[in-house]
Amino acid sequence: MAFLTATELNTHIYDYQLAQITENDLTIANTAIQAAIAEVKLYIGTRYDTATIFSQTGDSRNQLILDITKTVAVYKIIRLANPDIIYERYHDAYTEAISLLKAIASGNISGQLPRITVSSGSGGGSSSGCGSSGGGSDTDTDTDTDSSTYYPLQILGNKKFTHDF
């Protein structure tokens, strides 16, 4: 079973709206879900173990990440068309979801998510799909946590990167 299915989007969009927008083509909804998962991973993948997070199913899923992923997926779907949907309202929900992801990614709020860890002697690596510089020296770790927590993008210093979707 997948982390999120098109039928589970019904908490964020009515079935008839989804059917109208996608013209009953679930491939469109599934593509939006995969894009939403990829976007969420971009925000939290340098700090949290996204492979573990997105491999969960059913009640074992983190409900906040599930809700945010649904919001992002529906936003991507309604960009095609928006029958009976107040676009501005959903755009605000999407903006709020991204703000939450940024706060989780920065560590300002706890996402209660599994952290990325590197086994001692493994030479780096990341299950987030974000890559690794290898080596795993002390300068690659956050001084506020134990030395097994690794942040692949920490070498970038305080530079902030943004992207538009």
CA–CA separation, 22 and 50 (whole Å): 28
Using DSSP, state whether 125 is helix, strand or coil. Answer: coil
pLDDT at residue 51 above 50? Answer: yes
Please report which residue ranges of the chain form alpha helices under DSSP H: 15-22, 26-44, 50-53, 63-78, 87-106
Distances (CA, A) of 149 to 112, 121, 136, 143: 15, 13, 10, 9
Nearest alpha carbon to residue 97 among 43, 150, 55: 43
What is the tens place of the pLDDT at every residue in 88-145? 777 888 898 899 899 988 888 877 888 888 765 444 444 444 333 333 333 333 333 3
CA–CA separation, 83 and 85 (whole Å): 5
CA–CA separation, 4 and 27 (whole Å): 14
Mean pLDDT score of the chain: 76
The predicted pLDDT at position 156 comes to: 35
pLDDT, mean of residues 60-76: 96
Task: Kindly state the tokens that stand for 58.
Answer: 């059913």
Nearest alpha carbon to residue 136 among 152, 123, 154, 149: 123
